[in-house]
Structures are given as C-alpha cells and as structure tokens.
Structure 1
Amino acid sequence: MKTHASPQAGAATVLSQLLTEHPEVTGLTWTVDLLGVLHGEVHEEAGDGRIVDACAEILGGTAAHTILTRAGDRLGLAQLATTWRDVPVHVWASYPQAPAGGLR
C-alpha cells in the first residue's frame, strides 16, 4: 500500500479495494475511525454471522463466535480483528440465537 497523508485516507483506499475486488462482501456498514481503523458491522435479524467468516477468508485471521445471554435472551456475536494491506480491520456481526435447548 502507498503511504497516504492520513491514516483515514489509507483505510479509505483499502476499503475501496476490498469492495471492488470482493463485491460478495455485502450487507456490512463500513466506517473509518480517526486512527485509520476500518470497521465493518451488521446487526442481522436472522443468520449466524457467516459474513464475518467470509471476511476472514478474504482478509486473513480467524473469526471468533460467541453467544451472550441476558435476561433469557440469547445473542450471537461474530468478530474478526486482522490487518489487511497494512490497515487494521475489525468486523463484527450480531444476530439472534435460539434459546438453549431448542427453538422459540
């Protein structure tokens, strides 16, 4: 990656490359923070966070999946923290989980 005037410009360039080279990575909302970290996130109504696994295949790294329980509700969370083309990337998805022991 070329050196850019700001970390945000570098991350924006990498985001453009990612979306151009991998149009199958859809449904994520992408942002760039002040430090030039590229963030992708999605709150799914259904699913299992596979978009994060797909990003791990493209960007490298390993997606972590966990289930959070609060007041009887279960929420799945998939996360990936990696570096792609010298830019730090964090991707995560949240999605509903069936209660333990069966479906609702």
Structure 2
Amino acid sequence: MAGLGPLPYAEVTDDGYAARAAETFTAREFGPAVLLSGDCPRCRHPITVPVVDEVYRHEAAGAGDDPGYRTLLCTCEADHPARPAGLSGCGAYWTLLLEVDR
C-alpha cells in the first residue's frame, strides 16, 4: 500500500478490529488503571489506552452486573486527513470483553 498516503479519518468499526486487538494487545497494571497497548487494528499505528480499575472491581456495588465489555478508540498521534480539530486517532473503534485472572 505504499504511495497511497495517510489513511483518512473515519469513525468506523469492523468485526475484525476487536479480534485483532484481542490477539495482539498487551495489558499491564498502571496505578488505578490497566494500560492496553498495541497497534490500532485499522491504521496500524501504536496506541495505549488506559482502562480504569473499576472495570475489575467485582466487589464494588453494582459491578457484578458489568459484563466487562469496553469500547476502545484509536488514539494514535499519526496524521489522518479530515480528522476534526482537537481529536486524535484514525476514528476506528471496537469493543473488547475484558476479563481478569484471579
């Protein structure tokens, strides 16, 4: 795909985005959050997405009802034509099921 220029900004999702992220992202604890890191499944630029620890607090009131699904957004800093001012990323989003080993 060399020579095609940067991927334009578009708020889109695809069933394959979540599958690619689930296979390739890494997770690490960082204070009260978990950092998910990997390449955006759409534009392939590196991103790191913090997920607050309340996702993992099953003992918190009402948290037992939380199935653990979280929508993630591309937050890359690469240039994507037509990206609205003040935003980052390529516009891609996807939903992952986050589970904790206990």
Q: TM-score, normalised by structure 2?
A: 0.36
Q: TM-score, normalised by structure 1?
A: 0.35
Q: Which has the higher contact order (CA 8 A, sep 6+)?
A: 2
More strand by share: 1
More helix by share: 1
